Structure 1
Amino acid sequence: MNPTPARRLENVLVYSKPSWYVHPTLSATNHWFLHFGWDIGVNIDQTDHTGVFNLDDLMRYQVLVLNSTTNFGQDLDTQQRADLITWFRQGHGIVSVHAAAVHHSAWDWYANLVGCDFTADSVRTPARVVIDPANAGHPAVKPFAPEIWINEEWLCYDRPVTGQPDVKVLMRLDESTFEPVREKFQQMNVQPMGADHPAAWTRETEGGRFFYTAIGHDARVLNTSFGRRHMLEALRWAAGETP
């Protein structure tokens, strides 16, 4: 009996069309992904055209990266949504970056996949990030356990994802080390999340793999040793890469 062929990360699609707020750094992070692909020997294509969401085109890729796609799904029609779900359920992966967890109520399937929504953000600031001991063996965080300091614009969410079906939280923010709610949102009476403030998590469901990371507001964090390793292993995991 022949062994099952090893799976390798080879082809990634980065989609970056926001339906709400457009990060001014989006062009730079798109370019970062393209250069990152060259560095790691992986083909990475980038687009902001919704026409790619058909099964024939999607099947060219193992992983879809949603690069700060605020309200993802708003611009997809019924068939495009159905094709993406079919593709995901066939064992593919989605890696959602930073604002891809922001205001996505237009599509219940994706909202449920993420598991929470945006309520506020911080200014760009260093924060202590704690690796969840139960999931410290995940390759996207393993080299950095038990904690790491990261300088980023951090997001607050409307609920924790801890305990949701099939979710594993990889990183949490220590709110005692930074101000999680900037002044604009303080004036709107938005409250911090407290002890359970997730910063990266995974969900294996419906046959596919979902990975979310809060980093990626701009290319500065992505281009650190942490950011590069974290993103590489997120892509590998989402692709189901095996030795």
Structure 2
Amino acid sequence: MSVDRPVALVTGATSGIGKAAALKLAEHGIRLALTGLDSEQGMLMVQAIQELGGEAMFLPADLSDPSAPGQIISRVQNRWNRLDILVNCAAAICNKHIDKIVPEDWDHLFAVNVKAPFFLTQQALPMLRISKGTVINVSSMNAIRNAANNLVYDSLKAALNHMTRGLAKELREDGIRVNAVMPGGTRTPLLQEWFIQKEGNEAQGAVRFRQTEFDGKTAQPEQIAEVIYFLTTAQASWINGADIPVDGGVFLG
């Protein structure tokens, strides 16, 4: 493998948008560090990327653990000693009415959806400054438009957007771009889990998820991955601090 190939770190890379983004980046010769909770799926992803002629490693990680970002970045540095692209895609959900929300819900989602992207970025700065790299945070249209029973998730995606702009402002002098992609509904395991939580029943949640396949309002992960990849290219070199809607215009009403 060429040592000149860029290196990307993608969190939440074993399913959904993270998986699609990793495969898209691999198609373009980018070396991949992948994180996720499912080691079996992680190794299958490594195999799939190798079959594309690419290079990848899987790092099992629980991003609610505050030590995880430092450990992940250390592994990337030890393997390649460079990082050009950081895609913060891993996320947790909480579909509860406000009467049912408990402190642990806030703590868990804050750890995964906000703190982990920040500390991964912070730990990666020495390599990103050298590469003049880019950070892409996968946010949500719910950051700007609330959904029922989704208060914790929506609030923290709004925080992620604000953090994205703050990082972009502080890091622009280092040549590092930071942007957020805001998908609408996307056919991922996370969306299926959201429906299961909403219905309070796995079978009914699965039915609701299947109904999204033909509703004309729900994206495929690959459609979001195209935008993520674009933000890594030279054509996007003047896009910085942006929160980019990727929802097919559904939220226009």
Provide the TM-score with structure 1 as the length reference: 0.36
Higher strand content, 1 or 2: 1
Higher helix content, 1 or 2: 2
Larger relative contact order (Cα-Cα within 8 Å, sequence gap ≥ 6): 1
